[in-house]
Amino acid sequence: MEQVRELEAQERRLVLDSFSNEDAWRLGCLLVDMARERGAAVTVAVRRGAQLLFHCALPGTSADNDAWITRKCRVVERYAESSYLVGARFRAKGRTFEASSRLDPDRYAAYGGAFPIRLRGTGVVGAVAVSGLSQDEDHALVVQGLERFAASEGEGEG
């Protein structure tokens, strides 16, 4: 349950005031730069609704990473929470997402790496996702990127 509380706190904290196509580009590039600094072979995607606004597959990734991103983003779209949090809630109850959600595991993956793009006063408008590391590392990279992005968003205000 401690992990669930920590993941819920991240979601409460990482709420943006706005999110444009340009913001998607900046967030995506920030995550790619962070991955390169770590030598991480990941794919990064940023979506708003059904539209893919940013995609980058670093060397060492494959189409499988794209499929993971799609499946994890579907969990965010359905539950309006991070894919890691959704999976952690099932695990905290001693269940698995695959057996208990009644959703097709070929279409949904409740593993770390996809996080909702949530706007203050609006709710979830999209998702940012990483695939290529372990699920906890995918999730941590996204959260760290969003934290940096949100901090830079605040710097531009008067």
pTM of the model: 0.94
CATH (residue range 2-152): 3.30.450.150
Does pLDDT of 155 surpass 70? no
Q: State whether the Cα torsion 47-51-53-56 is positive or negative.
A: positive
Which stretch of 62-66, 127-131, 149-153 has the lowest confidence by average pLDDT? 149-153
C-alpha closest to that of 109 among 144, 64, 46: 64
pLDDT for 153 equals 76
Mean per-residue pLDDT over the chain, rounded = 95
Residue 150 pLDDT greater than 60, yes or no: yes
Give the separation between CA 7 and CA 24, rounded to whole angstroms. 22
